[in-house]
Structure formats: structure tokens, C-alpha cells
Amino acid sequence: MPDSIPHPVDDETALEDVLAFLDSPPEAGSTEDARFGERLRQVIAASIPAAEDEDQEDTPRLSLDADLRRRLEALASRRAADHPFGDHPDGIGPTLGMDLRPTASRRDP
């Protein structure tokens, strides 16, 4: 049985994995799909441009061209749209006071 927990990898390896998955997307809900999501989040986090007022030490660890970055961010956004709780598909509990009902059904106090 394959290991279902994605193992940490360096950012360059994560980028290689993401590019390979873009060429041949994994089946939704599969172990490979979970690994793809993990690597995608890692690549995006590692390529966030530093603000002008930040230290140079905070520069991105990966340099992506603008087109690839836009594609990856759009893909991550589409994947996240189906999971309002992110990595917690069963919810995060009522303690945060989050109301995820559609806007039309909310009432003002």
C-alpha cells in the first residue's frame, strides 16, 4: 500500500512535481491529488515576491515567471473553492464563528 502522507521535499523538487502534474493531472481525491495540492501550495508559498520594504533575506526561494505564477495561483484558487475549510474537509468547528451560508441567506443583527 502506498504511503498516503506527502513527504516534505525541497522547493525545486516541489516545482518539478507540480510541472509534471500539470502535464498529467492526477485523479481528483487520489493520493497523488493530495500530493499535488501540497506541492502546489509549497511552490506558491516559496515564490511569493517580497515587498519593497522587506529585508532581502525574505526574497522568494523560487523565481517563477509571471505567467506560470498566475496559472498556478488560478489552479490553487479553483482547488480551494471546493474546500472552504482548507485542509479540514470536515470543518473546523463552531469556535471561530464562521458563517459559510450563501450571502443571500444571512440576516443582519
Task: Give phi and psi for 14, each to the nearest 5.
Answer: -60, -40
Q: Give the Cα separation of 19 and 16 in Å (integer).
A: 5
Do 44 and 64 contact (CB within 8 A), yes or no?
Answer: no
pLDDT at 8 over 50: yes
Q: Residue 46: in which H helix or E strand, if any?
A: helix 31-46
Is residue 41 included in any domain, yes or no? yes
**Is 5 a member of any domain?**
no
Q: What is the mean pLDDT of the chain?
A: 75
Question: How confident is the model at residue 1, as a pLDDT?
Answer: 41
17, 62, 66, 24: CA torsion to nearest 10? 0
Contact call for residues 23 and 16 (beta carbons, < 8 A): no
Q: Which domain holds residue 23?
A: 11-105
Q: Does 1 map to a domain?
A: no
Confidence band (pLDDT; 50, 70, 90) for 79?
confident
Q: Is residue 68 part of a domain?
A: yes
Position 21, amino acid: F
Number of domains into which the chain is organized? 1
Residue 4 included in any domain: no
